[in-house]
Amino acid sequence: MPSLDTPLAATATATPGGEELGLDLPDFSSSLYKDAYSRINAIVIEGEQEAHDNYISLGSLIPDQAEELARLARMELKHKKGFTACANNLSVTADMEFAKEFFSPLHGNFQTALAEGKVVTCLLIQAILIEAFAISAYHIYIPVADPFARKITEGVVKDEYTHLNYGQEWLKANLEASREELEQANRANLPLVRKMLEQVAGDAAVLHMDQEDLMADFMTSYQEALTDIGFTPREIARMATAALLG
Ligand code: PL3
Ligand code: FE2
Ligand code: FE2
């Protein structure tokens, strides 16, 4: 057990090949690990299901893209299946009630925007914020995952870039008409994502995922997306500041 004066990195067991240098793997069969996994895995399963539902809903807002959006939605159901298998493989039961609660503020904002026909807000929430959150979480999880889950997560993360890219391309093509709604939606939803990252930190730490790594990876994907959409560094810094307020 690492103590205060033996930080995790120092307790790492160097393998003959050296691949895991600096990262020690958790005990996947401990009750501590399984308990944290029951919530983290449920968050991922719920997130994949909601992502599916959100892409289907987006198809009703952008009818000429409905087919492409249905294709993205199908990928999300495949992800959900994969992560359900990860829990089964570790004999863990996902705490779905916890996960629904976890997503409810963001879910509520998406539903409100959908009812108002606000396609820009819906795209920012799903295709930028949720996808960047998923990408950062999967990146940080992969090196400390059990071998079965690692393989599945590696496949999933490639798809999530397709989804992030979809949102970027649409918003880039419609930037001038979207700017104001995008900034407003960012101000309302980025603080929710920051809170979600804070809420998973404790359980993520049990999985040997570091909160600062998670946040840094999220901010990287988020800022790259805004750059691609066409915001200047100054505008991006201003938008990122919303994470500190609210
Ligand atoms: C969109 O395609 C998916 C949305 C999922 C949101 C994921 C949130 C991740 C929280 C931390 C998870 C660590 C990974 C563990 C995998 C079992
Ligand atoms: Fe996904
Ligand atoms: Fe996705």
Tokens 């090949």 label which residue? 17
pLDDT band at 12 (very low <50, low <70, confident <90, very high): very low
Residue 203 has pLDDT above 70, yes or no: yes
So what's the pLDDT on residue 244? 87
Residue 21 has pLDDT above 80, yes or no: no
Distance 9 CA to ligand 3 centre (A): 31
Residue 225 has pLDDT above 80, yes or no: yes
pLDDT band at 245 (very low <50, low <70, confident <90, very high): confident
For residue 13, give the amino acid letter: T
Q: Give the mean pLDDT of 204-209.
A: 98
- Indicate the average pLDDT of the chain: 92
Nearest Cα neighbor of 54 from 155, 130, 105, 116 is: 130
CA dist., res. 34 & res. 59, Å (int): 37
Residue 17 has pLDDT above 60, yes or no: no
Q: Which atom of ligand 1 is nearest to the CA of 126?
A: 1
Report the share of the chain in percent with pLDDT over 70.
Answer: 91
So what's the pLDDT on residue 24? 86
Q: Which atom of ligand 1 is nearest to the CA of 149?
A: 17
Nearest ligand by distance to the CA of 92: 1
So what's the pLDDT on residue 67? 98
Q: Which atom of ligand 1 is nearest to the CA of 141?
A: 14
Distance 14 CA to ligand 1 centre (A): 28
CA dist., res. 128 & res. 110, Å (int): 13
Distance 208 CA to ligand 3 centre (A): 23
Residue 194 has pLDDT above 60, yes or no: yes
Q: Give the mean pLDDT of 87-92.
A: 98
Nearest ligand by distance to the CA of 163: 3
So what's the pLDDT on residue 246? 77
Q: Who has greater pLDDT, 43 or 17?
A: 43
So what's the pLDDT on residue 23? 66
Q: State CA 101 to chain mean position distance.
A: 16
So what's the pLDDT on residue 5? 40
For residue range 138-163, what is the model confidence (pLDDT) as tens digits? 999 999 999 999 999 999 999 999 99
Distance 10 CA to ligand 3 centre (A): 35
Q: Who has greater pLDDT, 21 or 119?
A: 119
Q: Give the mean pLDDT of 69-80.
A: 98
To test the ligand 1 pocket, which listed residue (33, 34, 39, 44) has its Cβ within 8 A of the most ligand atoms?
Answer: 44
Q: What is the DSSP string of the chain?
A: ---TTS-HHHHPPPPTT-TTTT-PPP-TTSHHHHHHHHHHHHHHHHHHHHHHHHHHHHHHHSGGGHHHHHHHHHHHHHHHHHHHHHHHHTT----HHHHHHHHHHHHHHHHHHHHTT-HHHHHIIIIIIIHHHHHHHHHHHGGGS-HHHHHHHHHHHHHHHHHHHHHHHHHHHTHHHHHHHHHHHHHHHHHHHHHHHHHHHHHHHHTT--HHHHHHHHHHHHHHHHHHHT--HHHHHHHHGGGT--
CA dist., res. 40 & res. 207, Å (int): 9
So what's the pLDDT on residue 145? 98
Where does ligand 1 bind, in terms of residues with CB under 6 Å?
A: 40-41, 43-44, 47-48, 51, 76, 79, 83, 86, 130-131, 133-134, 137-138, 141, 160, 163, 200, 204
Q: Give the mean pLDDT of 209-219.
A: 96
Q: Which atom of ligand 1 is nearest to the CA of 153?
A: 16
Q: Give the mean pLDDT of 96-115.
A: 98
